[in-house]
Amino acid sequence: MADIIDLFNGDVEKDTDPDATLLLLMGRLDGFVLSGVDKEGREVTAVTFGTLPQALWFFERGKKTLLERVDNEE
């Protein structure tokens, strides 16, 4: 399972400030796939990888990590 960077001491039951989270991640990542929603409710995806297959691989790995985390909490 991939590492989940816990920036908020395991408190995953509430939303966190996206801007604060991005600031905390500055300088810690070599690349990322970000999926979310903007202030108007539109879906947004940001990718820093140069190839879409690589971005998709990391996206799917992240999805797997989230699903495994849910399984481990039960």
How far is the C-alpha of 57 from the C-alpha of 60, rounded, in Å?
5
pLDDT tens digits for 16-32? 889 988 998 999 999 99
pLDDT (mean) for 4-21 = 72
Sort residue 46 into left (φ over 0), alpha (ψ -120 to 50) or beta.
beta
pLDDT tens digits for 28-51? 999 999 999 999 999 999 999 999
Query: For residue 11, what pLDDT band results from cuts at 50, 70 and 90?
Result: low
How far is the C-alpha of 71 from the C-alpha of 30, rounded, in Å?
28
